Amino acid sequence: MLDPKLAEVNTVNSLGELEKLKVADINACDEKEDYGDFSIEYPYEITIKDSKGKIVMKEKTQGTLGTKNWNKKFYIKETESGSEFVAYSKYMSLLALITILRKRNGELPTRINLNELVGFEFDGVVIRREGYEPFIDWVGTFEANGIEVPTVEQLKGTTSTPKPEEKSVKKSAWN
């Protein structure tokens, strides 16, 4: 048998670790960015903590609860070495949480009370680097919650070999 510390491996394609996260607070925010022809409003600020109670995210967010084109919420980012990866749009954490909630519960009612999201727990991928504040890898978090995200090829508009369908796994102590 493996040492228990060595036996746990990450199944999510991410540099972070999968953790249990919790929405700690949602507050009003009145920030707005003006771009001349249009402006973006940030009506909420969301705080998310890890299982030890440490803040892993506290940021303003747009009020969007849905999207016609899910892929438009992602973009391609390039590393210093030139490799590319998919990233999720900044300041869209409310949409991220609602998407996870929809995946878990199915359709939501036509109106919800955002205060009821406080206490909502979900599996999330947190990146922790020495000298930097921790942050949530939303792409890894979506994957960990069974939510499909676009590939680099899809975002570039090229065709790629689709991912093979995952076989269903019988429930066990770790499911």
Burial tier of 2 (Cβ tally within 10 Å: 0-12, 13-18, 19+) = exposed
Give the count of beta carbons closer than 10 Å to the beta carbon of residue 86: 20
So what's the pLDDT on residue 173? 37
The answer to whether residue 165 sits within a structural domain is no
β-partners of residue 122 are 21
β-partners of residue 18 are 125
DSSP state of 16: S
- Cα distance between residue 3 and residue 133, in whole Å: 30
So what's the pLDDT on residue 171? 39
pTM: 0.80
So what's the pLDDT on residue 16? 78
* Cα three-residue angle 79-99-115, rounded to 5 degrees: 115
What lies within 8 Å, CB to CB, of 116 at 6+ separation is: none
Give the count of beta carbons closer than 10 Å to the beta carbon of residue 43: 15
**How many domains in the chain?**
1
Confidence class for position 13, pLDDT limits 50, 70, 90: low
By the 8 A CB rule, do 141 and 96 touch? yes
The answer to whether residue 42 sits within a structural domain is yes
- Cα distance between residue 69 and residue 89, in whole Å: 13
The answer to whether residue 26 sits within a structural domain is yes
The answer to whether residue 9 sits within a structural domain is yes
The answer to whether residue 109 sits within a structural domain is yes
Residue that wins the pLDDT comparison between 46 and 78: 46
Amino acid at 94: L
- Cα distance between residue 52 and residue 105, in whole Å: 26
Report pLDDT digits (tens) over 83-94: 899 999 999 999
So what's the pLDDT on residue 82? 87
The answer to whether residue 166 sits within a structural domain is no
State which residues form the domain around 64. 4-156
β-partners of residue 59 are 46
Average pLDDT estimate for 128-134: 90
The answer to whether residue 106 sits within a structural domain is yes
Provide the CA 94 distance to its chain's centre, in angstroms.
10
Please determine, for residue 8, whether its predicted confidence score (pLDDT) is greater than 90: no
